[in-house]
Structure 1
Amino acid sequence: MTEAEDILKLHAAHTGVLDIKSDLSVNTKADLSKAYTPGVAILSKKIAADPELKNKYTISGKLVALVTDGSAVLGLGNIGPAGGLPVIEGKALLYKDLAGISAIPVAVDQVSVDEVVNTIKNISLSFAGIHLEDIAAPRCFEIEDKLKQVLDIPVYHDDQEGTAIVVLAGLINACRLTSRDLKYTKIVINGVGASGLATARLLFNLGFKNLTLVDVYGVVTPEDDRYNHYQRDLARQLGTPADLKNKKLSDVIKNQDVFIGLSDQNVMSASDVEAMNDDPIIFALANPVPEIDPDIASKAGAKVIATGSSQYPNQVNNILAFPGLFKGLLANGIKKVDFDLQFVIAKALANTVEKVSAEEIVPSVFDERVVKNVSQAVTDFSKTK
């Protein structure tokens, strides 16, 4: 049996990887009357009088909606809402196994931004938080922004905030290892979609001074209308010179300290690494094939290398962020995942690594301390608010 056949057999045997488990046993008439009718009428009347009580007396106080339209599935692209279901089902499993969080997959048709927002808003009373997944840019930015305006529960896009948090965690330790001042480190971000833009936004809002954004047409400049307004607005805030328009990665990589790739396979060469400053840091995070082969980058002089793959050291994986994050959010009633909170979580992840080395700048996804440390960081953060 091939690996693919084995995987298909496993998921077919269980009709997926999730189930609903009851928290109460119903063995007698008394049990039934308390768990269901007529007992639930007591709950219904109290909640009708004070809707916030739903979070105390029903699953809505602990249930996360994992929402996708399948328009930007990692490594697969636009495979549709049904195609995106296995990804969010797998993440729901990770929520439960790693953090004890109940999450349910929700697939939404690829309709207009406002229709998606209204759909999620209209079902939001059932949930304590919204986790967006695999939604293409720029619609993912609009959906998240609008949901944050109309909902009073946390809204989190894993491809944005999750990636940004874990990249920053790795960057903190990589800079420690190479004796660099974080905020003055010169960084090129190649790939300014959901993940790249969110990472750049986080770094900029934390005071990073030297960021260059590169995408499919070259450097993102403020007046280049080939890019969306989110990309152009950030380039404007960064003060990116207009004369960098159409400059490619190889044109701007010279004397940079860090390359962060959230783009496509094999877009970086050994000569690009050699043109960078001493002890360059390479985050080649494209999956399944990175922007540059780690062996090639190492031979070209890279001091620290991270990828998105489990085949190499330093896997930048969002699993490090979202289970502990939501455990902390729900435990402390936090409604927003802002830049300050993202920084706190990134520091907690970075500090989880006891002995920082070129082979370990982020903790393993199997490190049992990760969820505990992240959720505790969120709790500590809540006490400052």
Structure 2
Amino acid sequence: MDCNYIRGADLSHDSELNQKALAYHADPKPGKIAIRITKPFMTQSDLSLAYSPGVAAPCLEIRKNPDDVYRYTSKGNLVAVISNGTAVLGLGNLGALASKPVMEGKAILFKKFSDLDAYDIEVDETDIERFCDTVAAIAPTFGGINLEDIKAPECFEIERRLVERLDIPVMHDDQHGTAVISLAGIMNGCHITGRSMENLKVVIIGAGAAAISCARIYRFMGVKEIYMSDSKGLIHAGRNDLNPQKREFAASEGMTQKEAFENADVVVGLSAPGSFSLEEIALMAPNPIIFTLANPVPELFPEEVRAVRADAIIATGRSDYPNQVNNVLGFPFIFRGAMDVRAKTINMEMKVAASRALAALTQCEIPPYLEELYGTKLEFGKEYIIPKPFDKRLIVEVSASVAEAAVKSGVARIETFDLEAYRHTLAERLA
């Protein structure tokens, strides 16, 4: 559903968590990020090297050869996390200022999981042209730009324009992060249930940024039968209120959402609580793959789904249930791989490479430290189709796959690429 207003979501389910979260953000120092100095800076000599007069030397070298900016500055390891706050989490248009806690959160995730530095930048602008001009003007500072929490359909045009204007990786994570992680989960769901991507019947509830990107990547991977619903019901050819993105996935005229659920293999919820029903779930094919990804409150909680479909493979967007479709499994490692080979863009080949790496990693033997950390036995199957965020192998497997795909697809700008040496470098980053 396209919900660009502040929803009255019932967060009482998490009242204790909310209080802990407020204390976490406030104490002992407000916020979640800070800046640290990376070079010696204790003496007059250090000052003369860090700033005037010594700093003139790298400035002149960069003027002669712009690529030297990657040698003498932090550009190659610095991501901008940028939002205008028009679609914050599942809460709607909270505005740029109220989006800041989320953007700070993205920044620490970049640092924790991929050792990329990140600045959060909240732009108080909803006009597409002015927003893009602002981002483009500050882009020289960064090696990559992570767009975040920008509502559809504007987000599609914003990303398109910035990708065309800039020569660094730009990705709207709400679109592509969810697509990459959910695709990995569906791949493994197919593996467990003996399905193939080409023969899936997929229902997507929601038609915003993530939903459109999910549908596109599923189609790229061979899914032919995709049905999509928005706040007005199933998207079909008889409707005259569809934007171009929705029109890509219009079904036959007159079809209903309930009919779309009949014998469906997969449902991906990217909407709001209650946007599809247990009665519709009951109509799905045996061993259905059911992703209820509205966040923080899912369309249906897993225990509700299991009461109707005990045979289901279930995933949510929450960390307190198995199979969390968490974008942190994607964006830190996608940007790491893309920026390390100085990719000019993040293309479909790179995103699919990330999905394949995630799916394959889930099927590997589980390291003991991961089971100790999560306090449970982890084994590939219905309760474990997606890796855990604290799996230390993610940076190697996903980033290396993305970097390799960038090189093979011709968007990388480095002249030589040694995959095994790069994997070794990645392993050392978070050792």
Verify same fold: TM over 0.5. Answer: yes
CA drift at 1:332: 1.2
2:249 aligned counterpart, secondary structure: helix
Q: How does 1:94-133 map to 2 (within 5 A)?
A: 94-133=109-148
Q: Does 1:258 align with 2:282?
A: no
Which 4+ stretches in 1 moved above 6 angstroms? none
Residue 287 of structure 1 is matched in structure 2 by 295
Aligned to 1:339: 348
Structure 2 residue 38 is the aligned partner of structure 1 residue 23: yes
Q: What pairs up with 1:200-349 in 2 under 5 angstroms?
A: 200-222=215-237, 224-232=239-247, 234-235=248-249, 240-244=251-255, 247=256, 249-301=257-309, 302-349=311-358
* Contact 1:129-1:154 at 8 Å conserved across structures: yes
- 1:80 match: secondary structure: coil
Q: CA 1:118–1:191 in 2, change beyond 3 Å: closer, same or farther?
A: same
Which letter does structure 2 place at the counterpart of 1:175? C
Amino acid at match of 2:348: F
Residue 384 and residue 152 in structure 1: after superposition, are their counterparts in 2 closer, same or farther (change >3 A)?
A: same
1:129-140 correspondence to structure 2 within 5 Å: 129-140=144-155
Deviation at 1:55, TM superposition (A): 2.3
- The C-alpha deviation readout for 1:113-170, integer Å capped at 9, x for no partner, is 0000000000111010100000010111110000011000000111001000000000
Asked if residue 381 in structure 1 is aligned to residue 405 in structure 2, the reply is yes
In the alignment, does 2:86 pair up with 1:78? no
Q: Is the 8 A contact 1:165 1:345 kept in 2?
A: yes
Distance 1:76 1:173, change over 3 A: same
> Residue 38 of structure 2 aligns to which amino acid in structure 1?
D
1:67 alignment counterpart: 82
Say whether 1:11 aligns with 2:19.
no
Runs of 5+ unmatched residues, structure 1: none
Q: 1:270 to 1:128 in 2, by over 3 A?
A: same
Pair 1:55-2:79 in alignment: no
Secondary structure in 2 aligned to 1:37?
A: coil
In the alignment of these two chains, the number of paired residues is 377
Aligned AA (1:366): F
Offset, 1:384: 2.1
* More off after superposition, 315-324 vs 51-60: 51-60
Please state how far the C-alpha of 1:337 moved relative to its aligned partner.
Answer: 1.6
Residues 382 and 259 of structure 1: CA distance in aligned 2, closer, same or farther (over 3 Å): same
Tell me if structure 1 keeps the 8 A contact 2:349–2:406.
no
TM-score, L = length of structure 1: 0.93
User: Are 1:166 and 1:346, in contact at CA under 8 Å, matched by a contact in 2?
Assistant: yes
What is the deviation of 1:223?
5.5
Shift of 1:296: 2.8
Residue 270 (structure 1) shift: 2.6
Q: Deviations over 1:69-125 (max 9, x none)?
A: 111011321111010000010110111111110000000013310000000000111
Instruction: Render the CA deviation track for 1:152-190: whole Å, top value 9, x for unaligned.
Output: 000011100100000000000011111001121111111
Provide the secondary structure at the position in 1 that maps to 2:254.
helix
Distance in 1 (alpha carbons) for counterparts of 2:59 and 2:242: 50
**Pair 99,204 (structure 1): closer, same or farther in 2 beyond 3 Å:** same
Give the CA deviation at 1:292.
2.2
**Which residue identity does 1:252 align to in structure 2?**
A
Residue 352 (structure 2) pairs with residue 351 (structure 1): no
Q: 1:177 aligns with which of 185, 192, 198?
A: 192
1:225 CA displacement: 2.9
Percent of counterpart pairs with the same letter? 38
Q: Which residue of 2 aligns with 1:39?
A: 54
C-alpha distance after superposition, 1:345-371 (max 9, x if no partner): 001011111342110010112222222
TM-score (norm 2): 0.84
User: RMSD of the TM alignment (CA)?
Assistant: 1.7
**C-alpha contact 1:280 1:304 (8 A) present in aligned 2:** yes
User: Could you tell me which amino acid in structure 2 is paired with residue 314 of structure 1?
Assistant: N
8 Å contact kept, 2:334–2:351: no
- Give me the whole-angstrom Cα distance separating, in 1, the residues matched to 2:119 and 2:301: 36
Shift of 1:5: 5.2
**Structure 1 residue aligned with 2:103:** 88
Letter in 1 for 2:115: G
Give the whole-Å Cα distance in 1 for the aligned partners of 2:327 and 2:110.
12
- Amino acid aligned to 2:381: S
In the alignment, residue 242 of structure 1 is paired with which amino acid? E
- Tell whether 2:167 aligns with 1:155: no
Distance 1:209 1:111 in 2: 35
In the superposition, relative to structure 1, how do residues 272 and 120 fare at CA in structure 2: closer, same or farther (>3 Å)? same
What is the letter of the counterpart of residue 252 of structure 2? P
State the alpha-carbon separation in 1 of the partners of residues 356 and 313 from structure 2.
Answer: 18
Whole-angstrom distance in 2 between the partners of 1:291 and 1:342: 26
Q: Distance in 1 between matches of 2:23 and 2:271?
A: 33
Read off the aligned partner of 2:350 and give its amino acid letter. Answer: L
What is the CA-CA distance between 1:47 and the residue it aligns to? 1.6
